[in-house]
Structure formats: structure tokens, C-alpha cells
Amino acid sequence: MNYQYTKQFRQALVQWFLEEQRDLPWRRTKEPYQIWVSEVMLQQTRVDTVIPYYNRFIEKYPTAESLAYSPEEELLKMWEGLGYYSRVRNLQAGVREVVEVYGGKVPDNRVDISKLKGVGPYTAGAILSIAYGKPEHAVDGNVMRVLSRVLNIDADIALPKTKKIFEQAVTELIDHENASSFNQGLMELGALICTPTSPKCLLCPVRDYCTAFHEGDPSSLPVKSKKLKTKNIEYDVYIIRDQQGRFLMEKRPQAGLLANMWQFIMIERQADENSLTKVEKQYNVTLEHNSKETILSFSHVFSHLKWHIDSYLVDAVETNANPENTAYFTKEQIANLPMPVPMLKIWGKINA
């Protein structure tokens, strides 16, 4: 790497971070397990959103041992609203391995920590540097954006192979005496100053050592090719209420999107099909068609998927044997079920 300001960049970044860092709950600890929890929550999720979830989660599961064997449904309920639920399943599996194989102590080296379920190169480096002070790279989108500008790297960050370039760059740049502050400084700089659009170069503590600032246009970097096209699916969602005032819920499959979460009855909309009649056949129920009441229409975006939802409240005249993975629940019982955000939105409207 042909960069002449390594020492100055390190010093300026670390000093800025130590003076200007945000007061975040996971920065008040060096406990590896708790830092691991925060890093998993922060994947794909905004800091402001994570803070209350992190505080509640650590209060309920303060140690690796307390999380390792907690019931999955309880765990999903604690995570409800954060999305990307495979994160918490993998976290629990990894933490259970720490308890069973490593006596409850999170490994302090990249080889062993990388064997844990759900711990990729970034999470491994974040835990090792922040909790243990090890000079290990922790490269995420923020870091790639900052260093693409500082070092004027025009490789496409959407390509997996490009990450290796940035991991090597961090390995060469990192402050061995202040690895924690260096890595967190890069992340903080990307979050607050070196933002995706309109970077605040005049406030940047490393502006004097930024190649793109002196040679070109920092906002033109990083180079990132277009993401996959979003798939759109239209659903009719039925909130079916039986004569006892209970509601029919269905548990999603054990694998895939929103695995094991509970939802109201979702039917993919087909142009030539009456979805209400399909519900009756598929879920062994007779519905009062005239009772159908529109609740809410909205869209919900996943990473490469968009649901377009029309939701309806409808009364059941007759209910028979429940199909597999379905059950009727009272309002009080539903409050304890883990549900995806679109279902919470509908349920909130019904209870408003």
C-alpha cells in the first residue's frame, strides 16, 4: 500500500474518536459477549433503533450462560421488530458453543472465534479489537467507504473479493496500541462524518490525510454496482376472528425468511382467484364473507423483496380441525407471540 500518512492518520483518527465518540451503552463495557450482542444487532440496523433493544436484551441475558439455553420463542419475542431474525438464532447457537466448548469465555483469537456460528470476518475483528484490544481488521460498509476515500480506492465494493483489499489496508493502517479506538474510530467516522452522500469534509479529523479530498471528489467514492432487482409480491392478509373472539395465527416454516415467527393468514394474490374462498379450503374454516372489513394497506421492504399487503378482519362462522402449524389465540396470548413487523403493524391498527 503506497500511503505516506499512516502514522498521522492513526493519531488523528484515534484522538478524534477518544474526544468525540457518542456515548453508546456497548461502549461502556469490554465484556466480549456483550460487544458480540451489540455487533450482531447493529448489522443492517440503525444505532438509534438498536439502543433500547440492546439494553433490554442485556438486562434479560447479561451473560453467555443466560442466553445459551433460553427458549427460541422467548428469544424471537425479545428480537421482535429488529428483523433479520436468523441473526439472533445464529447468535444463540454461537453463544451456546462458547458455553459448551470454551467454558463461557469468548475466544480471543481469529481462528477459534471464526468457527462460531454466525461470526464472520467483520464480527470476529470487531470483538477481538474492541473487547481484547487485538489489532485485527473489522471491515464493514462504513469502513470501506471511509478508506475508499482516504486511500482513493476505486474497486467495486459490491463485489465480495473487494473486501480483501480493505482488510489488508486496515491490517497495515491499524494502531497496534489503540486497536479498539482505531477500529471504532473508522466506524464512527463513517457514521457521522464520511457519510454516503454529502460527506462533511470540512469537519473531518483526517481530511489532511485524505487522498480523495486532495485529488478528486470524495462523494464519487466508493464505487458500488447496482443491487439485485427487488422482487414484488402481493398478499391478502386475513385476521380471522372466531366466535370466542380468538384469532387464527400460523407459524412460519422452520427455515427461510422470518422462520418460526407467527403471522395472520397470508395468501399470495392471484388475478383469477378469490383469496377468501382459498382461505376457507386451506384452513378448514367457514367465513362470514359480508363481515370482511378492510384494516390496512401498505408495503414492507426486505433486502431483495417487497411485500404489498392488503389486510382484512373477517369473522369465522364455523371452525374445524386446525391445519398443522395453526392455532387460535386470545389477544393476551398474541401479545406474547413473536411476530414480524408487518403483522405487528396490522395488529396495532386493530387494537388502536
Interior angle at CA 273, CA 269 and CA 276, nearest 5: 75
CA distances to 130, 167, 215 from 39, in Å: 11, 18, 34
- Upstream peptide bond of 160 is cis (omega within 30 degrees of 0): no
Task: Examine the residue annotation and report whether 39 is marked as an active-site residue of this protein.
Answer: yes
Q: Rounded to an integer, what distance in angstroms lies between the CA atom of residue 328 and that of residue 325? A: 11
- Who contacts 295 (Cβ-Cβ below 8 Å, separation ≥6)? 239, 311, 312, 313, 346, 349, 350
Q: Which residues pair with 328 in a beta bridge?
A: 248
Task: Tell me which of 19, 20, 31, 39 is the catalytic residue.
Answer: 39
Neighbours of 63 (CB within 10 A): 14
3-state secondary structure 100-118: HHCCCCCCCCHHHHCCCCC
Residue 285 backbone dihedrals phi, psi, to 5 degrees: -145, 145
Neighbours of 66 (CB within 10 A): 14
Element (H, E) at 178: none
Q: Rounded to an integer, what distance in angstroms lies between the CA atom of residue 16 and that of residue 9? A: 11
Specify the DSSP class assigned to residue 230.
P
299 three-class SS: strand
Burial tier of 90 (Cβ tally within 10 Å: 0-12, 13-18, 19+): middle
- Who contacts 73 (Cβ-Cβ below 8 Å, separation ≥6)? 260, 337, 338
Catalytic residue annotation? 39
